């Protein structure tokens, strides 16, 4: 039996999409305008004080709430925006930190385990 990583939540399982919840989140993500999501992420990051950070789940929830998409759990919001956040990190707009240590770009969405925080890279533009 093959083991897949869920395309939405990245949990291992027998199918590429692990649950009905993830099926719904995947459908919701496909309906979002990526440029609008990025704009709203940058808008929220601009509100942070210099050298402060934000939980990625909290940021995702704020962004989706601002788009009138209200999800109960931050982890669901993060599942939807995870790829966008990693893309923005790879473009140099964001930096990821774990225990106040910069996470190298070589660590992708499947490699990053445990809590992490986001900081904007001040002066970067998209």
Residue with tokens 């473009």: 91
* 60 and 12 belong to one structural domain: no
Identify whether 11 is part of a domain.
yes
Determine the pLDDT at residue 126.
Answer: 42
Residue with tokens 């993060």: 78
* 70 and 20 belong to one structural domain: no
* 8 and 39 belong to one structural domain: no
Beta bridge partners of 4: 13
Identify whether 126 is part of a domain.
no
Q: Count structural domains, the chain.
A: 2
Per residue of the chain (126 residues), what is the pLDDT tens digit? Answer: 788 888 888 778 888 888 888 888 888 888 888 899 999 999 999 999 888 999 998 999 999 999 998 888 888 888 888 888 989 999 999 999 999 899 887 777 767 777 889 998 865 554
Determine the pLDDT at residue 39.
Answer: 92
Q: Return the number of other C-beta atoms located less than 10 Å from residue 101's C-beta.
A: 9
Q: Residue 17: which domain range? A: 1-31
Determine the pLDDT at residue 123.
Answer: 58
Identify whether 8 is part of a domain.
yes
């Amino acid at each position: 039996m093959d083991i897949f990583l869920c395309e939405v939540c990245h949990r291992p399982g027998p199918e590429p999409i692990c649950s009905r919840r993830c099926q719904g989140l995947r459908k919701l993500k496909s309906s979002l305008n990526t440029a609008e999501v990025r704009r709203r992420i940058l808008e929220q990051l601009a509100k942070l004080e210099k050298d402060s950070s934000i939980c990625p789940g909290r940021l995702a929830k704020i962004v989706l709430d601002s788009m009138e998409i209200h999800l109960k759990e931050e982890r669901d919001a993060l599942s939807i925006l995870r790829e966008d956040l990693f893309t923005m990190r790879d473009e140099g707009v964001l930096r990821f930190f774990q225990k106040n240590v910069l996470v190298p770009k070589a660590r992708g969405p499947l490699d990053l385990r445990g809590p992490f925080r986001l900081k904007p890279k001040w002066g970067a533009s998209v």
